[in-house]
Structure 1
């Protein structure tokens, strides 16, 4: 049976072997890097200059930090004055809002008319179908089953061409 001391001794021996292997691999990689640098006439300052320019450019889609004077505030809570840029996870005061335009900074009052690209004043409206459960439009008189008219028609209504007798109200 192994004792705690013998297990710890084995762990230390294995850790020493792992460190030696890592050092050997690192030495080989450094030799390759040195060989490539000398072959292409590069210095450390060339490498630092190249990687420094890469870091400054940033990666696509990243948000660069701005000073507080130039921060882009898209939304503001009228009660507390808390702000949000519109990027990242939405804070609690706006997360469940269906219409975020009332929190927009510098926006006109909700429901006001805006000018489109053609210069004609139009009222904004949401496109597409509403989300969530919809009220029933059709009812089966025999079973009492209902259908909202969205999605695939149920079996009791799928084969019927004239659906008007099944309309509710």
Structure 2
């Protein structure tokens, strides 16, 4: 059975052989690289510049990915799964449910599809603000509607009163026209009646004279 010293000696020998093999491989790789550099007209400066550009690109990519991850974490760890169509408020489906969906038995009608979830992740705040503005506009319109109805009612009453006044004026005008026509008729008939009365008186006076 080999002793510890013998095993250590073998390990040193194998390590030396391994180092020799590695050196040969490295030299072969260096020779190949040199041939390629000579073939394409490259220098170590060109290689270092390209390596530096690659390092910068990797660093900027990592920074962007970290910034995106931070932005996503700032917006919320879980993507929204449910949305209130009235206010635009969202809920991820985890933790305590909000008041607008807490007592709802069938929550499928509040589900957000994949496209809607992506859109909300990108511009959820703006959509929520837009929904809130729409709700406030509806409330303002609801408040204005009684005033509009009252104004319309007042305008309708004014129109009815105007029509009544116009009708009364037309009726009064007709009555006045009839009175004028009656007066003219009476004025026309007055001389005839007077003549008939005179004739009657003359006839009455002439009757005793004829009897005598």
Q: TM-score, normalised by structure 1?
A: 0.42
> Radius of gyration: which is bigger?
2
More strand by share: 1
Q: What TM-score, normalized to structure 2?
A: 0.34
Return the structure number with greater helix share.
Answer: 2
Tell me which of the two structures has the higher relative contact order, counting C-alpha pairs closer than 8 angstroms and 6 or more residues apart: 2
